[in-house]
Each structure stands twice: as C-alpha cells, then as structure tokens.
Chains A and B, each alone.
Chain A
Amino acid sequence: MGKYIAKRLGQAVVVLLIVTAIIFLLVNVAGDPTANMLPLDASEADRQAMREAMGLNRPLFIQYMDFLGKAIRGDFGNSYRYNLPAINLALQRMPVSLQLAGTALLFAVLFAIPLGILSAKFANSPFDLVVSSVSVLGRAMPNFWIGILLILLFAVNWKLFPVSGSGTAKHLVLPAMTLAIQSASQIIPLIRSNMLDVMQEDYIRTARSKGVGEGVITMVHAFKNALVPVVTVVALEIPGLIGGALITETIFAWPGLGQFLIQAINNRDMSVVQVCIFMISVITLFANLVADLVYCLIDPRIRY
C-alpha cells in the first residue's frame, strides 16, 4: 500500500512537471508575453528591448528551467495588475471556490445516489423514464445555460434566491445547483446501470436465500458494489467541476478562483493565469489519488 502511494505520488510529480511545461509553452510560445506590457503603438525596437530585459531572448529551455525553479519555490511572479505575488492572490480566492465546488459535489452525490438507486429499482417505470430523460438533458446542456435557466426560474420568476453575489447561504444555492445538476447527470445513469448489473449477481441471490429483506439487499449488499466504479467517476468529474466552476462563478459573480482567473485571462495577467492552472492541476491530481485510495478501501479485491 505504501509502495503504491509512493508510486502514485511519483507519477503525480511527473504529471505536474508536464503541466508546468504546458502552461509555460502556452504563454511563452503560443503567445507573446510582452503583448500587453507595452502600449499598442510601441515600436518593434521597444519590444525587442523589453524582451531583452525580461530574458525572453534566451533559449527556451533555459527560460523554462528558470520558470520551473521559481515555480517550485511557489514564485510564479507578480500579478502585473495588482503588483502582488500571484500565488498569494490565488490562495486568497481558493477557499471561496472550494466552498462552492464542495457544496456542489455534495449536492450532486446526494441527488444522484437515491435517484440512481430508485431508477434502477423501478427500471423502465415512468419514474425511471423521467429521471433518465432529465439526466440526458443535464448532459446536453452547457453549464452556463443551466445557470441562466436556474436564474430565470428561481431568481427572476419565483424570486426564491438572489440572482448573483455572495455572502449568505442563499447565494450559494443556485451556483452550487448549477454545478451539481451537471455532475449528477453524469453519475445517475452510472449508478443506475451499475445497480442493474449488480442486482443480477449471484451474491444478491445468496443474500435473498438467507432471508435478507429487499431494502437491505439494495442499500447494503448491492449499493456498496455499485459504488465502486462511481468513486472513480466522481474523481474524474472533478476537473469538469472546476472547469464548470470557472464559468458558473462568472455568471453568479461568485468571488472565487474561477472568476478571478477569467478576469486575469481577459487582462492577460499571465502570472495569475499560470498559478491558477497549476493549483487546479494539483487539486485534480490530489482528488484522483484520494479516489484511488478510497477505491481500495471499499474493495478488498484491489491490492496494489
């Protein structure tokens, strides 16, 4: 087990190195870092001087090592807009985003598990049909559109929740629901089909032969088995959740990492962009690692 964790951590470090390479190349090769630092009418000579000053005329690999060396120390440079270390700015916004993403994931799981189980239990009933249709719809709608619909219904029409902003629990509901609907739409059909498969297994028949009631069979014997693949998918959903959070935070003016990042992208504040991507990757990798560990805690057949 310890060996497995060590191996996975090693892999995660390699992956993070590749991530830094991607974000470095994105900013320094695909784009021109000086583009926004000089007035639009700056001459080519001025730009050249700027590049020289920033060390951009050195070989790319040297520049990358330089970037990497600083990044390891948590130094991604200053935000040129706020003139503060980018990493501090990003870390400030992080808790607000985690609050939103965490609530959303909780909502998603709380919705998806009972709905998935019930639609398997009553497979092909009108209830199942409704749940399946709604989850297909949820997968077909981009999350900004779900967000707008929720605003239209719950904020504009029924005035149950505020349109946007933050501060109270009520402000959290609509953005969290937006993200939760999207994730739940992925998880529900998975739980449903897993439950349907598991209920055909021999050990379910064994449980029945022991006189175990249907409720306990569904909730204990079958559900634990159906949950195993769900853990992986929930972990795989996390980048999607964070990606969705970027847009959701923008729509609902939720002052988290996502909103901050979108602003930074619009301002071409590349230090902030780089540090945000880096942090999001760390969170994703960590979540995947946790999912793997949970996986082997649930399933004794898996021993690494």
Chain B
Amino acid sequence: MQKKPGGRILRLLLQSYTGCVGLFIVTAMVVFAVFAKQIAPFEPNAMNPLEMLKPPAFCEGGSMKHLLGTDNLGHDIFSRIVYGTRVSIIIGVCSVLIAGFIGTAFGLVAGYFGGFADAVIMRVTDAFHAIPRTLLALVAVSVMSSGVTTLIIVIGVTGWITYARVVRSEVLALKNREFVKAAITVGTPDWRIILDHILPNVLSSVIVVSTLAVATSIIAESSLSFLGLGIQPPSISWGGMLSTGRSYIATNWWVATMPGIALTVTVLGIMFLGNWLRDVMDPHHTGSGS
C-alpha cells in the first residue's frame, strides 16, 4: 500500500507534459552551468577581430564554427550563453534562499503572533510592495559595490514579500486547526509550535513559491545587468549580452536575440516545473491549468 513518494512524484511528472519539458530544461541548465568548460567550444571572453558579427550557422554566411554566431568583439555567442547559465543559476538560487528565509520568518511571526507584530510586518511588506522591486534593487546595487555577492543579497532582500504574505495567510489558517489548538492548550512553547507544527505545514507552499521566485530572480538579475548595474565584465550575464546586442539590433539581430531566447527558455522551464510542483503539492488549487 505504501509506495515510495519518489515513485509517486515521478509518475505524476510523467503525466504532465509541461512538467517534463520544465524538468528537461532545468536539468539542461544545470548541466550547462556545471560543465560549461567542457561544453563551450571557445573561451567566452576570447576575442577574435577576424570573426566579428558572424551570423549563426543556420543563416547565410554563418559557419558551424560559431553555432549561434559572434558578437561585435568576435566572442562566440554560444559559449557565452553556456557560461551565462552559471550566473543565472547562482544568483537565482542563492537570492531565493535569502528571500525565502527572511520572508518565511516574517510570515511566521506575523501570522502566529498577530497583533502589533503583524501590523508592523504587514506595513513593511506594503512599503516594499509600493516600491517596484527592480527600482529598489537598482538603487541598492548602485550605492553598494557591484558584484555577484551584492546582487545575490540585493535581489534576495528585495524579494521576500511574496513569502511573507503567502506564509502569513497559511499560518492564519493553520492556527485554527485542531492540532495547533491542542498544542497551544497543553502549553507547548510558541517556538516549538511554530517549528514542529506550523513550519512543516507551510513548507510545501514555500517550495512552490521558491521555484517561481527563482524565475523572477533570474529576470531581476538580467534586468540589472541589462542596465549596466548588475554583472560586470568579464563575468558573463545574459542581460549584459542583450544590452550589447541592443546596439546592433538594426544590423545584426542575432547578437541580442540569442541570449534573449536563452533567457526565455530558462524562465519558461522553471515556470513549468513550478506550476507542476504547485499542482502536485496543492491538489485543491483551481488554477488556469488546462
């Protein structure tokens, strides 16, 4: 009767076409990031003045040597995209860990204790919501030193409000459940109730929010890098590549389009995986799934 949960999840995944696609894309991304050196045919920052602005292999004038063409400095675009996954994954995942930690903590406190703590935390969330995230991150990055660590912190710290809101509303519902009431009645200390009874029950929502948050964090990073305030050369970010390509949009479309497609596919993959996770973990959810 007891099946392994892993087997059940895998079976559910196979039933979902988009879930499979999502898993495939995310796996491919991780492989790219880990084995960038082996996969990329060129050094990502290797300039080649003789092969500037070469079109992709499938276009007229392109060659198999540069699969997705080259940019204005003769960088191989495919190699740069492969290396770019590293930045996206590291920043996406690490910033979500920070955001998830802060947001879940605030959500637990606000939902469990209510009253003044709740009022204060909710007003702070409102304040963070009133400032567009990109803007807050931009200013924060501009006053601090730029670099991957700064970006992780900034994107993480500006991304916690979704967690706080979701966790808070779940805690409010859980507080009325019998097992929590029972624990309160027998005098269990608050922190024990939160850690033993409430936290495990909000974790599935936190995981669902996290998957989708990785996607928004990747978008946030690429936006900052696009504006020149994120990842600085020689580090490679898809946002930065798009920014370069923008100048050549009228003549050499592929310079901007290739990293743009990479970004879209990645975000799509994470969204698919996230939506599938949501369907699996929350069977009551009546979403727009078709």
Contact = CB atoms under 8 A, between A and B. Distances in A.
Direct contact of A and B (CB under 8 A): yes
Interface in B120-148: 123-124, 126-136, 138-140, 142-144
A29 to B, nearest CB: 9
Contacts of A23: 139
B124 A243 contact: no
Given A148-B249, A243-B134, A262-B138, A142 B143 contact: no
A11 B122 CA distance: 10
Contacts of B15: none
A188 B81 CA distance: 32
Contacts of A142: 219, 222-223, 226, 239, 263, 267
Interface in B75-105: none
Contacts of B245: 148
Contact of B132 (A31, A128, A132, A239): A239
A123 interface: yes
Q: How large is the interface on B (under 10, 10 to 19, 20 to 34, 35 or more residues)?
A: 35 or more
Contact of B290 (A124, A163, A242): A124
Interface string B153-184: 00000000000000000000000000000000
Contacts of B74: none
Interface string A137-153: 10111101100110110
Interface residues of A, number: 58
B144 A144 contact: no
A163 B264 CA distance: 23
Contacts of A244: 132, 134
A132 B228 CA distance: 33
B131 A246 contact: no
Given A141-B267, A145-B260, A268-B142, A11 B123 contact: yes
A15 B121 CA distance: 11
Contacts of B228: 266
Contacts of A11: 123, 126
Interface stretch (B6-14, B198-206, B250-258, B276-284): B250-258
A261 B139 CA distance: 10
How would you classify the secondary structure of chain B's contact residues: helix, strand, loop or mixed? helix
A123 B136 CA distance: 39
A240 interface: yes
B271 interface: yes
Interface of A: 11, 14-16, 18-19, 22-23, 26-27, 30-32, 123-124, 128-129, 132, 136-137, 139-142, 144-145, 148-149, 151-152, 156, 163, 189-190, 192-193, 197, 239-240, 242-244, 246-247, 250-251, 261-262, 265-266, 268, 270, 273, 277, 280-281, 284-285
11 contacts: A22-B131, A26-B143, A128-B290, A140-B271, A142-B226, A152-B253, A247-B226, A262-B138, A280-B135, A281-B130, A285-B130
Interface of B: 123-124, 126-136, 138-140, 142-144, 215, 219, 222-223, 226-229, 239, 242, 245-246, 249-250, 253, 256-257, 260, 263-264, 267-268, 271, 286-288, 290
Given A132-B288, A140-B271, 17 more contacts: A18-B123, A18-B127, A22-B128, A142-B219, A145-B260, A145-B263, A152-B256, A156-B249, A239-B129, A239-B133, A240-B132, A242-B132, A246-B132, A265-B229, A268-B142, A270-B143, A277-B136
